[in-house]
Chains A and B, each alone.
Chain A
Amino acid sequence: MQSTRSIVIRRFLLACACGLAPIASSANDIAQFKVAKGSVYLERSGQRLPARVGTHLQATDIVVTGADGSAGIAFVDNSLLSIGPNSVLAIERYAFNSTTHEGAFESSLRKGTLSVVSGKIAKQSPDAMKVKTPSSILGVRGTEFLVHSGD
């Protein structure tokens, strides 16, 4: 009897664990780190979190790399962004409809280096993807490009 009860409790705990597991990745996730070398951080709601391969990004997150850091991020629309050392990249707006491929993608390179391979959003809707820097705004029409902002 005792053993049956313990089995039931174990199964219940296992079911709870399985149910909780998906919380690690939520519906708000828009991208995932595929590369994270050296110091790479994520600023979310005023908190600074370490970023690793597999860490998910949400709209309005800010990615920061240190002097030895670099990071590569794959977005759900297949846009690929990567940043070099001493960079600050803020995701300002991200929306993507996986059925129509329509959306909006606005990011801001506050400093550092950025490599962009645009994805389905820029392919479907010209001018839907924009990259800002402190001194310019880039309108993207389906392409690959590099941006350096700073001294």
Chain B
Amino acid sequence: MIYQDSKTLLAVRGLHATVNGIEILKGLDLTVKSGEVHAIMGPNGSGKSTFAKVLAGHPAYEVSGGGVVFEGGNLFELKPEARARAGVFLGFQYPIEIPGVANSQFLRLAYNTVQAGRGKDELDPLEFDDFVREKMKLLEMNPDFLDRSVNEGFSGGEKKRNEILQMALLEPKLAILDETDSGLDIDALRIVAGGVNQLANKDNAIVLVTHYQRLLNYIVPDYVHVMDAGRIVKTGGKELALELEARGYDWVGDEVKANARVSA
């Protein structure tokens, strides 16, 4: 939701990034204020997921220009783990399976590490168990998922719920959800979206990276951005998503090119 006089959480200015020497982001600008929900849409290969990973600090991506200010500080001065502790959360498109580590052990380790990083109390295994079970209700998750290895053998929907469970535990200021809707059936989508909506408040912000408008029926964005060739080329309200759904992405690109000719 857009609030008057809310503060800027994230300011991305002229961001360039490369992977394996190939430039993927080519001058991206975005401002996110607390309380807001942003959707970033765009065709495959436009750089949406790269942007999400660059914000979280994936080592394969190199920032080659521009900058990102998060809560008034230079985001790129922080290592990935420090970003997590500072309140940046990436919900993975493909959550990683970790055989041999119980989900409960992983969740508690992440929770306590982030809590300690914020100077807050850690929880012992028993306290954490109560705490996490409460959060799991939000996502209609069976407590059996605590005893299983992290994401191992989880269905696509179960993995995404586990991602949102981590978001619920870590209480990020900025949650970037990368294709959280992909591979979900409609029931799972409803549950995951419901969880995200309950976690949204006036002090945090959510950036949804998505290919499809479907998710936005459940999580209503304040802004919809269209990415093309490594930049945000168009920004609108939630109705833009519907237009994209109806007309595809090509017209946006054409419009950009037309504007470029006019200004040239």
Say if A and B assemble together.
no
